[in-house]
């Protein structure tokens, strides 16, 4: 698909709008990741959820940590509008502050952070670059919890279509590669885990596939719709066939 084509981009966002999450994940995994760092957080932590998308994690963190303030930051305002609706419904807008901004640029109104959260987002800037960019935003000993796609098999065992799909992300590496980037950026690893397979489906690919089925009738004759829809179906099919080759993994790290 051609992301620079406005018509195709519009269809891409129509496929994605309103999904529970914009990346593989689940409430269970978010809470499991939080448990890796919870005992290192102060009672009223200042948190930023970088690339928060529609805000599943931001809302869950604010619920799980009743005195936390969460700055929920993303570049795409329509996702932030979804976050605002969720936070309003959960009566949490007094502790969740939406910000339409780039996650590499510190915001003047953001105080020193106790923790930066980032699900399915740091790949946009790369792990090492992202961790380095966030250092000035964190207090001493600050925490970062993020997840990142990693290869689970050697290069020679990656099927061409999987390589082609993730080829767009030149920085994609394996678990050891991410751990090296963490160390190089000046953090120590506290723990991590791979997402369970269900995290790819229940709140992400299953609803996305339903959306595609619905849009197929609407855009039957629309040539611009075919590329983004085919691209998305191929991504879902790839997960069905090659789950053993790649996965998202959570990493919990601390400034050293």
Ligand X SMILES: C[S@@+](CC[C@H](N)C(=O)[O-])C[C@H]1O[C@@H](n2cnc3c(N)ncnc32)[C@H](O)[C@@H]1O
- List residues near ligand X by CB under 6 A: 21-23, 25, 51-54, 56, 73-76, 79, 102-103, 119-121, 124
In the complex, the smallest distance separating the C-beta of residue 105 from ligand X, rounded to whole angstroms, is: 8
Please report how close the Cβ of residue 55 comes to ligand X at its closest, in angstroms: 8
Q: Which residue is nearest to ligand X (CB)?
A: 53
Please say whether the beta carbons of 254 and 149 come within 8 A: no
CB nearer ligand X, residue 141 or residue 167: 167
Q: Please, are residues 117 and 47 in contact by the beta-carbon 8 Å criterion? A: yes
Taking the least distance from each CB to ligand X, the nearer of 86 and 158 is 86
Phi then psi dihedrals of residue 255, to 5 deg: -60, 135
Q: Are strands 246-255 and 187-194 parallel, antiparallel or unpaired?
A: antiparallel
For residue 20, the 8-state DSSP code is: S
Mention every residue, 6+ apart, whose C-beta is less than 8 A from residue 76: 13, 53, 100
| Least separation in angstroms between CB 169 and ligand X | 11
**In this complex, which beta carbon is closest to ligand X, that of residue 27 or of residue 183?**
27
Min CB(142)–ligand X separation in Å: 19
Distance, in Å, from the CA atom of 148 to the CA atom of 146, rounded to the nearest integer, reads 7
Residue 221 CB, shortest distance to ligand X, in Å, is 30
Interior CA angle at 47 toward 42 and 49, to 5°? 150
CA 253 to chain centroid: 16
CB closer to ligand X out of 56 and 185: 56
Nearer to ligand X, 203 or 254 (CB): 203
User: How many residues appear in the chain?
Assistant: 256
Minimum distance from residue 20 beta carbon to ligand X (Å)? 8
Contact of 62 with 95, CB cutoff 8 Å:
yes
Rank residues 124 and 183 by Cβ distance to ligand X and give the closer one: 124
How far, in Å, are 14, 75, 84, 90, 133 from residue 104 at the CA level? 27, 11, 22, 28, 6
Q: Look up tokens 């529970």; give the residue.
A: 20
Query: 51 vs 61, which CB is nearer to ligand X?
Result: 51
The token pair that represents 159 in the structure block = 């099927």
Smallest distance, Å, CB 143 to ligand X?
A: 17
């Amino acid at each position: 698909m051609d992301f620079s084509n406005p018509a195709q981009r519009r269809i891409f966002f129509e496929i994605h709008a309103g999904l529970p999450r914009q990346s593989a994940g689940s409430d269970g995994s978010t809470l499991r990741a939080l448990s890796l760092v919870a005992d290192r957080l102060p009672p009223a932590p200042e948190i930023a959820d970088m690339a928060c998308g529609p805000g599943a994690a931001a809302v869950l963190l604010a619920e799980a940590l009743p005195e936390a303030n969460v700055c929920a930051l993303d570049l795409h305002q329509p996702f932030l509008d979804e976050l605002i609706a969720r936070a309003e419904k959960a009566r949490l807008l007094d502790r969740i502050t939406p910000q339409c901004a780039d996650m590499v640029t510190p915001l003047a109104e953001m105080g020193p952070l106790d923790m930066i959260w980032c699900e399915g987002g740091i790949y946009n800037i790369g792990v090492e670059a992202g961790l380095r960019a966030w250092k000035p935003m964190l207090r001493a000993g600050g925490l970062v919890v993020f997840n990142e796609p990693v290869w689970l098999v050697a290069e020679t065992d990656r099927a061409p279509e999987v390589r082609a799909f993730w080829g767009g992300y030149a920085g994609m590496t394996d678990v050891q590669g991410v751990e090296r980037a963490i160390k190089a950026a000046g953090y120590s690893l506290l723990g991590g885990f791979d997402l369970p397979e269900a995290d790819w489906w229940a709140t992400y690919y299953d609803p996305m596939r339903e959306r595609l089925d619905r849009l197929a009738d609407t855009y039957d004759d629309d040539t611009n719709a075919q590329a983004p829809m085919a691209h998305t179906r191929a991504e879902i099919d790839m997960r069905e066939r090659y789950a053993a080759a790649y996965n998202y993994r959570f990493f919990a790290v601390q400034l050293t």
